[in-house]
Structure 1
């Protein structure tokens, strides 16, 4: 009977020299168990955080919006401080500029948008009539499906006449829902605006206080790196994308004016705003343009022409202009971008859709600063030094 001697590598070598024997120690098993528990704990922590952000979305959405706006506009306040301008004054000037731009955009689109909303019921009826050849096919398919599902086992069709029920909402309830929506918008703008002003005016002081609370110099350097990295990435991305989207809005507005579309300014502003949503925004804009053209022109084929022009402009922007301007430093996987849009749109609604790409960029920038998250940064497309 041969004996085995333990080697330094953890293998036991047979005295006959024929084959090594693998020996597992109790330490190896406990280490693997600890790693599994650690991963499970992190997954549970992430799920709990996401649930809290979904449950308290009315609180988190304005806060996150203000934080991203602060990191984007912070360099302006810091530059004005070099010229002796107090942060409170420069923050007030920035807020006044943002308010003026918002008021100008509202003034340009409020009348056309009001007309479109007022004519929506009649336009929907016209669109149904123009698309009757498609709707008839869908209704035929639905009837065939219902007939298959309502046939019993003997082949005798069971006819269940639906009972028509008409529900009319009281006028006060409709007005209340409109007031609730307006109140939510006003509260969102109010909370975001006030918080953004205080962040611009005193955010650096708050950041210094947080740094003093950190225990080590390494942690402080990492925090500075995270803030600077996120600020640089978000500022560069939002500034360049905003300029590109303004150009796209002007191009779409001119194209709609040339195609004799009504309210071309409205469609230009719509294209600019929707283009902040990758992939999904262009499809939604093309659908809206198609329906509006279908309603306002007799020839149905003209709707395909106008929508095709819109899709062509957004495709040129998305495939050639944006990649050449942003460069590879801010390129992201379309799969991750789409998943981010879907996830945050489901959690936070329309504002989550607009914030999805900035959140993805911020997550990548944060992961680049911590050694334990380098692998996640590489998955997100970040810059990771190869060793």
Structure 2
């Protein structure tokens, strides 16, 4: 009887937690981003404190540098999006011409007449003035939301960065037998920091290489394609696939023949497969790897709760959960269930 009541309460607790995570997303998402960035900076903070750099100097420098880098990247992204929007009508007309050319070739090969007018009209529906206006309005609303989220992120980031330097003293004050707890927290921090650092470096490298490939082929908006590749590589499984679509579409629009578009597709696909399936697992190590079921579950779960930002954060959050479970004897079996059996040596 007591066990049944406990199980029912756990179900209600899970539903309540799910509900709170969803309705408080505007407050929790910037907090999670800030926590991950602060944890990533912990090795640097410890290194500087080891050489007696004062916290009053370290925190403002790191906080200012981080915020300025984010604003610089966002400014480039907004400028490129604006340039893209100004050329949207021309790109739409070029795209429709390419589609018409493809349809005509299919008709010749199959000797079957396709309804070209209906297809063209359907495609034009995506690029008419109303659609462009709605897209610009959505972008403006998104920038407004980003402004509020960025303010909350900056506030959380500065507070956490300042307080995390003294967390060991706080634990010693609160908990009497604190040595093991501090050791476990330090191990968790190192693991999360390692994962975040590797993931950012690998994603940035992938984005840089993809951007350089686009530049070498002479694609317009090569910078934005590289940046999108960097961001989308944080989304497991589908992110790398989605990242190849925009540059390939641009290659189809921009080039007279399809050979160069196919070359762009094959090269970008090869880059994603090589880095994602061979290089990244080798660097990560077994302790930070998740199995496919866990990755898909995390993608769906956090995507339902927080949308695209949740999908971007799904793997880091699931890695953190796996590491936390691994430090608990009673929950270590969950860590093994979530983990990957793939060997990296």
TM-score, normalization by structure 1: 0.73
State how 1:161-176 maps to structure 2 within 5 Å. Answer: none
Say which SS state the counterpart of residue 114 (structure 1) adopts.
Answer: helix
Counterpart of 1:291 (choices 246, 249, 259) is 249
Provide the C-alpha distance between the structure 2 equivalents of 1:104 and 1:329, rounded to a whole number of angstroms.
34
2:27 is aligned with 1:66: no
Could you tell which deviates more after superposition, 245-254 or 277-286?
Answer: 245-254
Equivalent residue number for residue 330 of structure 2: 372
Residues 256-296 of structure 1: per-residue CA shift (max 9 Å, x gap) = 12222123233222222221222221111111112211221
**Contact kept in structure 2, 1:245 and 1:272, CA below 8 Å:** yes
Report how many aligned residue pairs link the two structures: 321
Deviation per residue, 1:77-113 (Å, 9 max, x gap): 2222222222232111111221332244345544433
Match of 1:235 among 156, 173, 193: 193
Aligned to 2:157: 196
The aligned residue for residue 228 of structure 2 is 270
Q: Report if the CA contact (8 A) 1:244-1:322 is conserved.
A: yes
**C-alpha distance in structure 2 between counterparts of 1:370 and 1:288, whole Å:** 44
Partner of 1:276: helix, strand, or coil? Answer: coil
1:124 & 1:168 partners in 2: Cα distance? 14
CA distance in 1, matches of 2:203, 2:35: 22
Cα deviation 1:121-162 (Å, max 9, x = unaligned): 44234334433567999x98xx9xxxxxxxxxxxxxxxxxxx
1:169-221 CA distance string (max 9 Å, x none)? 9x9x998866543232111111111211111112344564466445x63xx45
* Larger relative contact order (CA 8 Å, sep ≥ 6): 2
Deviation at 1:325, TM superposition (A): 1.4
* Secondary structure class of the residue paired with 1:131: helix
Tell me the SS of whatever aligns to 1:372.
Answer: coil
Which structure carries more helix by proportion? 2
CA contact (8 A) 2:289 2:340 kept: no
Does 2:279 correspond to 1:318? no
Instruction: Please give the root-mean-square deviation of Cα atoms over the aligned residues, in Å.
Output: 3.3
The structure that has the greater radius of gyration is 1
Aligned to 2:22: 54
Q: Is the 8 A contact 1:222 1:370 kept in 2?
A: no
Q: If the length of structure 2 is used for normalisation, what is the TM-score?
A: 0.81
In structure 2, the residue matched to 1:82 is 50
**Cα 1:180–1:208, aligned 2, differ >3 Å: closer, same or farther?**
farther
User: Shift of the alpha carbon at 1:225?
Assistant: 4.5
Alignment partners' CA distance in 2, 1:277 and 1:196: 23
Looking at structure 1, the residues matched to 243 and 32 of structure 2 have their Cα atoms a distance apart, in angstroms, of 26
Question: Is there any run of 5+ residues in structure 1 with no aligned partner, and where?
Answer: 1-32, 144-166
